[in-house]
Copies of this chain bind each other. A is one copy, B any other.
Amino acid sequence: MVVSLRLPTLASLFFSSPSIRRSPAFSGRRLYFRPPPLTASFCAQSAASSPPETEDRVNNLKSRVNQDRVITPRSQDFNAWYLDVIANAELADYGPVRGTMVIRPYGYAIWEAIQDYLNVKFKETGHSNMYFPQFIPYSFIEKEASHVEGFSPELALVTIGGGKELEEKLVVRPTSETIVNHMFTQWIHSYRDLPLMVNQWANVTRWEMRTKPFVRTLEFLWQEGHTAHATLEEAEKEALLMIDVYTKFAYAQAAIPVIAGRKSKVETFAGAVRTYTIEAMMGDQKALQAGTSHNLGQNFSRAFGTQFTDENGQRQHVWQTSWAISTRFVGGIIMTHGDDAGLMLPPKIAPIQVVIVPIWKKENEKAGVLNAASSVKEVLQSTGIKVKLDDSDQRTPGWKFNFWEMKGVPLRIEIGPRDVSSGSVVISRRDVPGKQGKVFGISMDPSILEAYVKDKLDEIQSSLLSRATSFRDSNIVDVSSYDELKAAISLGKWARGPWSASDADELKVKEETGATIRCFPFEQPQGTKTCLMTGKPAEEVAIFAKSY
């Protein structure tokens, strides 16, 4: 039975709206929010095929809606904070089917910013967009042995179409390597058809049991690149190139100092010979796998017979790659930069970079203030800055300050009657709370204001990256023994140490500590290394961490 749920949304929450006078003194204050009574996990919200106990948990979730509170402090309960930010900043909502997510306009705009950047990079590196059908014959999935093993527990299957039972079940794509290879066999004939390099932006479905908005949902959005090459070397070069595109994106746009590296054999993608990854440290120190690039070798081309005639007239199997980034990345942005006040967005991916809050007390001040605010908006907008003017009558300036801080807008411009007289504005940074982040008397002169704002946005972008980098570095511990590793993990840290032990040892670490090898980072320390587990020589250090 499907229950029509009313879940927490911003509009349904009662915000405390103290009538706040703007003064340097106030702006140093923060509103502290009362904690919610209970936290319900994402998978608690449910409809179709939910277990019986779900109803109670749903009711708990519903009961949170009418509380006079906003966001659970991050330090108090990271998971509750994350869900509160998503609900209150209107990033996403629960879909009616367990584990599905509705991406709301503000959340989707972040995804669009990710798409806009990557789409250009993919084309610059020679890839074309296209579209493969989402329904895959079940038999395709079975063709590549490790692929079917990895994906079969997570499949959604269409068994009825047009009112009739289907002869062969159809898989709703969890990823497209199989159907891509089926098509590649038809398009690839000779070495002249290579390399074949395509990408698609699509939805994918994985029947996950433990879901969490953005991080792990039953259906999610992603791009999946698929390429075929004449040699292993070319495929390897491509896989490395694409993880580099992701790495640059993470640093330059999302201000997330990911660590790029190679997955261990145990953690390699089902069907790949090698998986590269970017691993991000979230605010609770857990790792998030934020993007992957796979060298598939000839695993799929052998399973599907994807061959070409080489320059000597010999038939050869192609060498392939695939690589993906998904809406999970939005979760990574939230959990990297957010704080007790809510979301904090890097300017380069913020849907709104600057919010203008006009301030007036007397009715005769209103027109002048709104006029000035409008012209400031136009000045900034015309130079390509994403600006929002919040001129609504229904909320106090104090309420608006809190609201747009919670929404993570990097810069706030305040304009009151005295600012209008002096031809200047007040500018506050989201990333620097209170007085220190606030500057008075910035001239409204278009060229001065524009330069100031652009400069500040750049500064915030760098500041977010360097803050996240310091946080990351202060939470990575170099370890040289298993005891040190266990100690580091139990403190919530990432442990970095030389590793040349077996898969069994790796699984033992996971069993005993909950941590997995996130990657063998590309950046390796100099010098000889001794495996932390076996004491034998090791060629590389690995990073261990608990992860999402």
**Residues of A participating in the B interface, judged by any CB pair closer than 8 Å:** 1-2, 4-7, 9, 11-12, 47-49, 93, 95-97, 100-105, 107-109, 111-112, 128-137, 139-140, 152-164, 166-170, 172, 179, 182-183, 185-187, 189, 192-193, 198, 202-203, 205, 207, 209, 218-219, 221, 304-305, 394
Contact = CB atoms under 8 A, between A and B. Distances in A.
B186 A9 contact: yes
Contacts of A111: 131
Nearest to A107: B130
A47 to B, nearest CB: 6
A160 B159 contact: yes
Q: Which 4 A-B pairs have the closest CB atoms?
A: A162-B207, A105-B128, A100-B133, A95-B133
Contacts of A153: 162-163
A160 B156 contact: yes
A135 B49 contact: no
Contacts of A107: 130
A4 B133 contact: no
Contacts of A198: 105
A156 B140 CA distance: 19
Contact of A186 (B7, B129, B156): B7
B394 A132 contact: no
9 contacts: A7-B186, A48-B166, A95-B133, A96-B137, A105-B129, A134-B203, A135-B218, A152-B163, A156-B161
Contacts of A152: 163
Contacts of A97: 133, 135-137, 170
A373 B132 CA distance: 35
A209 B162 contact: yes
Contacts of A137: 2, 47-48, 96-97
B130 A394 contact: no
Nearest to A128: B105
A198 B104 CA distance: 9
Contacts of A187: 9, 11, 93
A222 to B, nearest CB: 12
Contacts of A170: 48, 97, 156
B48 A167 contact: yes
A112 B205 CA distance: 24
User: Which one of A9, A112, A154 has the highest number of Cβ atoms from chain B below 10 Å of its Cβ?
Assistant: A9
A209 B163 CA distance: 12
Contacts of A49: 161, 164, 166-168
Contact of A155 (B162, B183, B189, B207): B162
Given A100-B135, A187-B11, A158 B179 contact: no
A221 B201 CA distance: 11
A146 B53 CA distance: 35
Nearest to A2: B137
A186 B135 contact: no
A103 B131 CA distance: 5
A411 to B, nearest CB: 22
A153 to B, nearest CB: 6
A160 B169 contact: yes
Given A47-B137, A93-B183, A105-B128, 5 more contacts: A2-B168, A48-B137, A105-B130, A156-B162, A161-B207
